[in-house]
Structure 1
Amino acid sequence: MTTMQQRSNFRTLIVVVVTVFLDYLGISLVIPVAAPLFLSANGFFDVGVSLDYRTLILGLLLGTSPFIQFFTSPILGAFADRIGRKPVLLLSVLATGFGHALTAVGFLTHNLPLLFVSRVLSGAGAGNLSAANSAVADVSDSKEKARNFALIGAAIGLGFIFGPYLGGKLSDPTIAPWFYYDTPLWVAAALSLLNAVFILLAFSETLRTRIRRKVDMFTGVRNILRAFAIKELRVLYLVSFLIGFAYNFFTQFFSVFLVARFHSTSAELGVLFAYIGICTVVAQGFFARVLASYMRPAVIIRWAPLVAGIVLAVFAGIHKEQTVYLLIPLAVVAYGLSPANMTALISDAAGKESQALGFAIPPVISGIVTAVSIAMPLALGAASFFLAWGIFTLFHKDGLLGEFHEV
């Protein structure tokens, strides 16, 4: 590889990293907003609307985007191989931005159907990470791939640190009288537009050989069925799903728990989720790498879900807000060790489309079970962690019994 080609690849890599950072910064700006808006007396719903109905609708809204992503990610991936990475990145970022703008309008006009339409658009555009990863692979040799993909992970982590914090501040009217729940959405939409301009001007197409893969929204479903057809992969896949499933009970409805039990504001939630983002970066960027030098992935998976389940069970019973900050590092580190080690065990055998389904289901279930108790989603998350730990401990054996290839 010539020096000029190396410089070109490095420039493309930086552009992709900045693109991913801006995208996830915009997405995470809205994290601290939804729960206070839907649960507060002067928020989206009238005062007489019950908490059960509020949490149900919020759960359905939170689940809509990842549910749509589950079906659209394979389509975006196929188009990225067929027409190139640049147009897919560009169109998906614009779709996400338009979704943010519609959400802002929906908040201001109290238009619930419009909010669901906006979540569909955001979900359709959320599969652009596969195109970004493909672009990184295009400009990386075998020795550089792991390091370059780590930069993408770092960009996502930084987005989830700064986004919630800024979102909390932008929705706090005590900072500026014109700040409201819709303000972070308008900023997120502006970031998406800025990102689209950046891609248009700075990104050079990386796809050299076009591949005409079949465009099919049910690819993710077929890959799940194919994965479960292999006995040992079935166990790993189920454990991976349960771990992600459990953690999403924590992350996606934790804000509802905090608002209902501690009356947390959007500004306070922004600080808390920024704290979670920092803990996640430390867990995956430091602890996972250090422990990998001393423990095999299977050993880590044998105890990490158990610890995470215990912490979530304790979360469900706490009544002091200070305890939240003390327990979060334990929960995040215990979970943060799982994804990389599960990936190592599966060896990239199973497709990633299914991850979106793991994000889609928990908020819907959480919205229903909060009618029983506001802490019930955390209890279900703990139960899912315990189930993952039990299945892995009882049924996992080293080595895969077969090979799996995405369709």
Structure 2
Amino acid sequence: MSSPRRTQFFLIFATILLSTIGFGVCIPVLPLYAQQFQASNFENGLLTGIFSLMVVIGSPLWGRLSDRVGRRPVLLISILGSALGYFIMGHGHSLAMLFVGRIIDGASGGNVSCAQAYIADITKPEERSRAMGMIGAAFGLGFVIGPALGGYLAGIDPSAPFYAVGVLCLLNALFVYTSLPESLGPEKRGQHREKQPLSTVLAHADAPLYLSTASCYLVNLIAFAIMTQVFSLFANHRFGMNERQVGHVMAVIGLVGVLMQGVVVRRLLPILGEVKMARTGFVCLLFAFSLFPLVGHDWRLYALSCFVAMGNALVQPTLNGIASQSVSARWQGSAMGFMQSAGSMGRFLGATVGGWLLTFDEGLPHYGRTPFWVAAALMVFTLAIGIRLRQPVMREVSVSTVPPVA
């Protein structure tokens, strides 16, 4: 790999890392922080989910805009919007202000789809799953640092994590502005004006494969979001764990994810292929979600967290890689924008439904069992969809000729 392209990979990795640290800070903190404003379990889930709903609305628009004007300006705008949202959450002293901050942050959430499209711009189709694994490693590392940092800062002041995230977003924007070059030249920018991003993508894609992949992505993230939404409340209620302790568990998930996506995924991909790796990930998540309500606050809790990390590390980059390979190069921004929208809809539904399901366990000794087992049932459904997936037909080179992406 040439030195300029290595620099681009490093810069986009750092951009995603800083964004993910900010998101990860909120995971152990936000549900317990919202309870200070008398948020019910359902309102708590909605507070988490509203962010993803706004991403659903905005992400395809950001993706199409990045296809027209380039990736870099869209990244800048979305990152600055996130900074504003986090500062509002830190300064707000009511549940309503938390909702306002989450809505602004979510509406600005075009950075992930733009980063994925950026990677697609500078890689060949057969390289993209490995490149998406690099993005996944950035997510994993962010989820190591973010939850641990959030739990620590919440012990100083409940609003401190949100101010810290806002500052990180400003630093991220400065980093992009001063260091990240544009990846999409003027001659490659589409001039399409279709109002339906999905129909546009399908017109330039292997539609059955793309839709099956997006469906797996959606249902998988509904289940995963149920787990992440209820875990801090479940752990606090069942085991008396505070934000810092929950942050440690989430950091373990992130650390294992980094090792999986940065090392294991890259080595297994040429051997197993995207589809087999995704199916293996579905099984890992099914196993973990089924057993979470049955263990105590001991090594088994951390062991199951490792299975969650392994499953997520196997699923996320491979599904994104399959989707990217099934769409022509010119429409990568729209394709990745729609995939992010599918994922964000899953996170919205999962967080909201997870909070609602938790109300059925209030006052019961098995608090948390219902949402975890619903998540496990959804993984069975996801595995059924995944059985129908096939390897992308755009893989044009043998495994031995694929260069490493790092």
Smaller-chain TM-score bracket = 0.7 to 0.9
Task: Spell out, residue by residue over 1:313-342, the C-alpha distance to the aligned partner (whole angstroms, 9 max, x if none).
Answer: 111222334421122112322343233444
In structure 1, the gaps of 5 or more residues are 46-52, 173-178, 402-407
2:230 to 235, 238, 253: 253
Change (3 A) 1:241 1:171: same
Who is 2:287 aligned against?
A: 310
Most deviating of 94-103 and 380-389: 380-389
Shift of 1:362: 0.5
Shift of 1:19: 2.1
Who is 1:48 aligned against?
A: none
Most deviating of 181-190 and 53-62: 53-62
CA contact (8 A) 1:95 1:122 kept: yes
Who is 2:106 aligned against?
A: 123
Shift of 1:399: 6.6
Q: Does 1:281 align with 2:264?
A: no
Who is 1:176 aligned against?
A: none
CA contact (8 A) 1:233 1:400 kept: no
Task: Spell out, residue by residue over 1:87-113, the C-alpha distance to the aligned partner (whole angstroms, 9 max, x if none).
Answer: 21111111000000011122xx1x222
| Counterpart-to-counterpart distance in 2, 1:154 and 1:44 | 35
Change (3 A) 1:297 1:141: closer
CA contact (8 A) 1:79 1:215 kept: no
Shift of 1:233: 5.7
Q: Does 1:326 align with 2:303?
A: yes
Shift of 1:75: 1.1
Who is 2:364 aligned against?
A: none
RMSD: 3.2
Change (3 A) 1:237 1:7: closer
Change (3 A) 1:131 1:293: closer
Q: Does 1:114 align with 2:108?
A: no
Who is 2:83 aligned against?
A: 97
Who is 2:377 aligned against?
A: 383
Who is 1:369 aligned against?
A: 357
Q: Equivalent pairs: percent with the same residue?
A: 26
Task: Spell out, residue by residue over 1:39-79, the C-alpha distance to the aligned partner (whole angstroms, 9 max, x if none).
Answer: 4xxx232xxxxxxx621111001111111111211111122
2:197 to 219, 235, 240: 219
Who is 1:339 aligned against?
A: 316
Change (3 A) 1:197 1:70: same
Matches within 5 A, 1:8-157: 8-39=4-35, 43-45=36-38, 54-106=40-92, 109=93, 111-140=94-123, 148-157=131-140
Task: Spell out, residue by residue over 1:111-156, the C-alpha distance to the aligned partner (whole angstroms, 9 max, x if none).
Answer: 2222111111111222212222333444456687666554433322
| Counterpart-to-counterpart distance in 1, 2:125 and 2:371 | 42
Task: Spell out, residue by residue over 1:145-171, the C-alpha distance to the aligned partner (whole angstroms, 9 max, x if none).
Answer: 666554433322221111111111111
Shift of 1:282: 2.4
TM-score, normalized by length of structure 1? 0.81
Most deviating of 335-344 and 307-316: 335-344
Change (3 A) 1:115 1:214: farther
CA contact (8 A) 1:224 1:354 kept: no
Who is 1:170 aligned against?
A: 153
| Counterpart-to-counterpart distance in 2, 1:391 and 1:368 | 26
Change (3 A) 1:386 1:76: same
CA contact (8 A) 2:221 2:350 kept: no
Q: Does 1:262 align with 2:239?
A: yes
TM-score, normalized by length of structure 2? 0.81
| Counterpart-to-counterpart distance in 1, 2:276 and 2:386 | 10
CA contact (8 A) 1:35 1:259 kept: no
Change (3 A) 1:234 1:135: closer
Q: How many residues align?
A: 375
Secondary structure of the 2:28 match is coil
Change (3 A) 1:344 1:21: closer
| Counterpart-to-counterpart distance in 2, 1:315 and 1:56 | 21
Task: Spell out, residue by residue over 1:208-232, the C-alpha distance to the aligned partner (whole angstroms, 9 max, x if none).
Answer: 223333275x535x579989x9666
Change (3 A) 1:342 1:130: closer
Most deviating of 267-276 and 229-238: 229-238
Q: Which amino acid in 2 is paired with 1:190?
A: V
Who is 1:207 aligned against?
A: 184
| Counterpart-to-counterpart distance in 1, 2:17 and 2:389 | 38
Q: Which amino acid in 2 is paired with 1:270?
A: G
Who is 1:404 aligned against?
A: none
Who is 2:248 aligned against?
A: 271
In structure 2, the gaps of 5 or more residues are 328-334, 362-367, 394-406
